[in-house]
Amino acid sequence: MKKAKEMPQTRINKQRLRSTFEELVTIDSPSRHEGRVARYIESIFREELEASTHTDNSTGETGSDTGNLLVRLSGDPSRPPIFFNAHLDTVEPGMGIRPVFDGEAFRSSGDTILGADDKAAVAILIEVSRILRECNMNNPPLELVFTVCEEIGLLGAKALDTSRLESKAGYSLDSTDPDILFSQAPAAIRFRVNIKGRAAHAGINPEHGISAIRVAATAISMVPQGRIDHETTANIGIIHGGNATNIIPEDCTVEGEVRSHNEQSLKRIQDEILAGFHKATNQYKTENRWNNTPCPPFIQSLVENDYPLMSIPKEHPVIVTACNAARNLGRNLQVDRTGGGSDANILNGKGIATAILGIGMQRVHTTEEFIRLEDMIASAELVLEIIRCWK
């Protein structure tokens, strides 16, 4: 009979993990204001855990009041280093968070988000680091990357100088189910279309005007949106324009995004959306001239790459190690793909293989956000076992 693999003897300190998380979420850290929480985290690693820390000079690119925080914990130099990533910023409403623990799960008091996205990940990495020190585990060298401004465009990760990292692979803790690992995530673009119509008095001579909002509405009704196929989504999320109800609106701006696991589909839907705006504009053009200039409406479009495609082969060590670690814990880790973007997209794009681990956060970006302590513990256990198995 085959002998079962001996389980690690490390145990998560449940009360300490809870206290760390509660302390973290009460420190306000909306995007671009992560300085206080970064200093709190740095003090734990430098003063308590005697780790080396470094804050980069990315503030000029992100606009944050602090840079990304890199923490290094020493380990067996004969083993390859590994890194873990979490982000420090939270979405709004995220000021004055008061966590409530009901004996099973954390919630906010109801008028703010909770901030489990992504401070539960930070708390988990702090607890894991404490256990490594207390148990004197033979761990590989560890690097912890705490980024800023993730919620407003992954700005911290984009500004991160990955040449400072010794690790070539690792994990981002920024998802829901602790028994799911994401190895694939879509690429995404953002687009902005500015429409120029012609102003006129809406009551006296509306026939002289061309409504930029009407042109936008026509275009929006024509272009692909929602779930396009099993790989691709598109959304128009922002529209603004006009100055007063008695003026035919001369200006309108529309903003949106396209995401896809297929880069050809991404480009195709992007082109279809822009073509729709051009087609709508042409419907409202006339042969008339106004003040001896070409007749509006006109459009101006801008497309920006938001983040690159992420796709890690199933045989890569970050996938194999995580699955083996889960089995050692008696768990089945499901490898899947996500429709969201995260720091992992950027890190993969910079040549650092990064899979996404779940931590249990639910209903994120809402005032109904919650997280179960047991899910945080399960995530911490998996991180510890990944570290133990890494080679």
Interval 165-221: pLDDT, tens: 999 999 999 999 999 999 999 999 999 999 999 999 999 999 999 999 999 999 999
CA distance 49 to 180: 30
* Residues 118-156: tens digit of each pLDDT: 999 999 999 999 999 999 889 999 999 999 999 999 999
Cis bond before residue 313 (omega within 30° of 0): no
219 within 8 A of 277, measured Cβ to Cβ: yes
Q: Is the pLDDT of residue 294 over 90?
A: no
* Residues 61-102: tens digit of each pLDDT: 999 999 999 999 999 999 999 999 999 999 999 999 999 999
Angle formed by the axes of helices 116-135 and 14-25, to 10°?
140
> What band does 291 get if pLDDT is binned at 50, 70 and 90?
low
Q: Is the pLDDT of residue 17 over 50?
A: yes
- Residue 74 identity: S
- State residue 320's pLDDT score: 98
Q: Is the pLDDT of residue 10 over 80?
A: no
- State residue 288's pLDDT score: 46
> What band does 292 get if pLDDT is binned at 50, 70 and 90?
low
Q: Annotated active-site positions, please? A: 89, 150
- State residue 388's pLDDT score: 97
- Residue 173 identity: L
Select the CATH number that applies to the domain covering 14-185+309-389 from these four: 3.40.50.700, 3.90.1660.10, 3.55.40.20, 3.40.630.10: 3.40.630.10
The number of C-alpha atoms within 13 Å of 126 and in the hemisphere containing its C-beta is 27
- State residue 285's pLDDT score: 82
Mean pLDDT for 320-333 is 98
- State residue 293's pLDDT score: 60
User: 383 Cβ partners below 8 Å, 6+ apart?
Assistant: 84, 124, 125, 128, 171, 173, 357
The two tokens of residue 321 are 């190690």
- State residue 378's pLDDT score: 97
**What is the CATH number that goes with domain 187-307?**
3.30.70.360
Question: How do the domains of the chain map onto residue ranges?
Answer: 14-185+309-389, 187-307
98 within 8 A of 26, measured Cβ to Cβ: yes
The two tokens of residue 66 are 């602090």
Q: Is the pLDDT of residue 37 over 60?
A: yes
User: 387 Cβ partners below 8 Å, 6+ apart?
Assistant: 82, 128, 132, 137, 139, 140, 142
Nearest CA to 275 among 322, 349, 222, 316? 222
* Residues 220-257: tens digit of each pLDDT: 999 999 999 999 999 999 999 999 999 999 999 999 99
Q: Is the pLDDT of residue 26 over 50?
A: yes
339 within 8 A of 175, measured Cβ to Cβ: no
Residue 373's SS3 state is: helix
Q: Which residues pair with 54 in a beta bridge?
A: 70
The two tokens of residue 347 are 């890190």
* pLDDT, greater one: 2 or 297: 297
Mean pLDDT for 49-60 is 97
Give yes or no on whether 14-185+309-389 and 187-307 have one common fold: no
DSSP 44: I
Q: What is the mean pLDDT of the chain?
A: 95
User: 332 Cβ partners below 8 Å, 6+ apart?
Assistant: 179, 326
- State residue 383's pLDDT score: 98
Q: What percent of the chain has pLDDT over 90?
A: 93
Mean pLDDT for 337-365 is 97
* Residues 344-354: tens digit of each pLDDT: 999 999 999 99
